[in-house]
Amino acid sequence: MPDFYDIDRANALVPELGEALLMLRGLRAEVVALRDRIVELNAPWIVAAVAGAAPPTPRLTATKRAEVEAETRVLRLRLQGMVDQMHAAVVQIDGWSIQLRDIETGLIDFPALVSGRPIWLCWRLGEGDIGWWHEVSEGFDSRHRLEDLV
């Protein structure tokens, strides 16, 4: 049986949810930056491997490659730690039986019932209390003010 929220219960969760979403958004940005750094470090070897050739410049010696591999290992360990933290936050959100729709905007849907009809209470990071809803078959673009709920 699904876990349904009423407005008060959903609003009570908003402060803790906001903290989790801010952390997720920050970690996501760090993960992207680390990924980009790993790609940048390894680009000469990636390009060479795809082309089936040696690295394009003679300065890319075995010593330099070893340095790049060592830095890449450290970055990947940091990356894995951040991914683990993100996973824990998503598991926490999932444990509340709500739907994380988008990390970047912090878009969340809470399952709710109105006169026996399932709907989503819709909230996004930066908004105050929950003030929106939409049908389960619709999304963010179709959301309506709570005052219009019939």
**Secondary structure (3-state) at 102:** strand
The tokens for 58 are 């003679």
Residue 77 and residue 80: Cα distance in Å, rounded? 5
Q: Where are the domains of the chain?
A: 7-148
Round to whole Å and give the CA distance between 63 and 29.
31
User: What pLDDT is recorded for position 65?
Assistant: 84
Q: In this predicted structure, what is the pLDDT of residue 50?
A: 64
> At how many degrees (to 10) do helices 7-51 and 62-95 cross?
160
pLDDT of the chain along its 150 residues, tens only?
468 999 999 999 999 999 999 999 999 999 999 999 999 998 876 665 666 666 555 555 778 888 999 999 999 999 999 999 999 999 999 999 999 999 999 999 999 999 999 999 999 999 999 999 999 999 999 999 999 887
Question: Which residue's structure tokens are 């730690």?
Answer: 81
